[in-house]
């Protein structure tokens, strides 16, 4: 199966019975970089290794229970390494302007050598007479460790996170600069809307050996879906309050595939920043809000901001102070030259 890991075959979107929210909200601090992205309608897709949850996007292979055939595990590892190395080599050879025929032949040869090198090393080490276990137990352990590493490497995707809620006090505190930032609302109202995936809270990080074999060697759709969910969407139920949805693409800054619909300013957001944002993105189809606290309650509510609101449109302020800071210079006094 070509490509880094048959991601093209994976369709998750939302499971049957899961209702797509009308809006997806992205909490963020308001600094120069974020303002630039906001004005250009860009989104940043982060590496999962940068997430604040150390278990996010880190599946683990189950070592107990029913075990897959050893030969199947070896073929699975070979396939994974060949897929990755072939794609990496082809990309490098393309930049060097190799012809397509030569590119395919060289990349496949390189991938085969790398796969056999890894498997050959495991085979060789399993014959060590000083092993603490039987050769087959050692070989299974090493094959599973290498397969797990390959799965993690091949799922280093860019992830852009959203919530279905705009009024979470915790998310305003954690992701929007302690209520000094913003929460940007998006919708799927595009001509070609992207696939957006709901995070699966409480879904085990565990992957059974046979599931991996079925996904990699046999291309079974259910197994592929289970593998992708564990690698990109499984999360501890402790994070359920985030009500998270994800776009998955290449890492880095990209044009937003979603339609920006509204911007909500935090409870503590400075009036000058609110004015700057509203002036910078003065679109008729974009709504502006600000959060405020409900008196006597532990909750937030948002109110719509009018573009004619004097509280924000009295800015910028031009100083009316006309007094001299220094006394006028006497024209009769000659200043030293130089």
Closest CA to 164 of 181, 187, 180, 182: 187
pTM beyond 0.85? no
Could you report the per-residue pLDDT of 278-311, keeping only the tens digit for each? 988 888 899 999 999 988 888 899 999 987 664 5
- What is the reported pLDDT for 6? 36
CA distances from 107 to 86, 88, 94, 100, 233 (A): 5, 8, 10, 10, 31
Give pLDDT tens digits for 74-84: 999 999 999 99
Looking at residue 336, its pLDDT comes to 64
CA distance linking residue 186 with residue 267, whole number of Å: 20
Residues 142 and 13: their CA atoms lie apart, in Å, by 34
CB atoms within 10 A of CB 104: 15
d(CA 190, CA 193): 5
Per-residue pLDDT at 126: 92
Whole-number Å distance between alpha carbons of 327 and 321: 15
- Give the Cα separation of 135 and 213 in Å (integer): 21
Given a contact cutoff of 8 angstroms between Cβ atoms, the answer to whether 162 and 21 are in contact is no
3-class SS string, 110-163: HHHHHHHHHHHHHHHHCCCCCCCCCHHHHHHHHHHHHHHHHHHHHCCCEEEEEE
| pLDDT for residue 2 | 38
pLDDT of 93:
82
- Pick out the chain residues at pLDDT < 70: 1-18, 308-338
């Amino acid at each position: 199966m070509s490509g880094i890991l048959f991601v093209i075959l994976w369709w998750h979107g939302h499971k049957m019975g899961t209702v797509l929210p009308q809006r997806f909200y992205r909490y963020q601090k308001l600094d120069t970089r974020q303002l630039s992205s906001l004005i250009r309608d860009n989104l940043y897709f982060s590496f999962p290794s940068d997430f604040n949850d150390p278990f996010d996007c880190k599946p683990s292979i189950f070592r107990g229970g029913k075990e897959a055939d050893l030969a199947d595990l070896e073929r699975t590892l070979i396939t994974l390494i060949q897929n990755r190395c072939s794609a990496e080599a082809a990309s490098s050879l393309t930049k060097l302007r190799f012809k397509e025929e030569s590119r395919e032949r060289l990349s496949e040869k390189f991938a085969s050598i790398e796969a056999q090198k890894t498997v050959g090393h495991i085979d060789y080490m399993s014959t060590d007479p000083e092993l603490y276990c039987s050769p087959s137990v050692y070989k299974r352990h090493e094959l599973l460790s290498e397969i797990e590493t390959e799965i993690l490497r091949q799922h280093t995707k860019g992830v852009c996170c959203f919530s279905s809620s705009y009024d979470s006090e915790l998310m305003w505190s954690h992701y929007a600069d302690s209520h000094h930032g913003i929460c940007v609302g998006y919708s799927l109202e595009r001509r070609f809307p992207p696939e957006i995936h709901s995070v699966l809270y409480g879904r085990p990080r565990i992957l059974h050996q046979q599931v991996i074999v079925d996904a990699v060697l046999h291309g079974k759709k259910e197994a592929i879906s289970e593998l992708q969910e564990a690698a990109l969407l499984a999360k501890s139920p402790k994070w359920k309050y985030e009500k998270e949805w994800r776009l998955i693409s290449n890492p880095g800054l990209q044009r937003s595939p979603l339609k920006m619909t509204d911007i909500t300013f935090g409870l503590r957001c400075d009036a000058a920043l609110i004015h700057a944002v509203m002036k910078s993105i003065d679109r008729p189809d974009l709504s502006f809000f600000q959060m405020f606290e409900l008196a006597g309650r532990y909750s937030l509510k948002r109110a719509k901001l009018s573009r004619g609101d004097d509280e924000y449109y009295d800015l910028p302020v031009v100083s009316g102070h006309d007094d001299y800071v220094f006394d006028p210079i006497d024209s009769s006094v000659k200043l030293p030259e130089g």
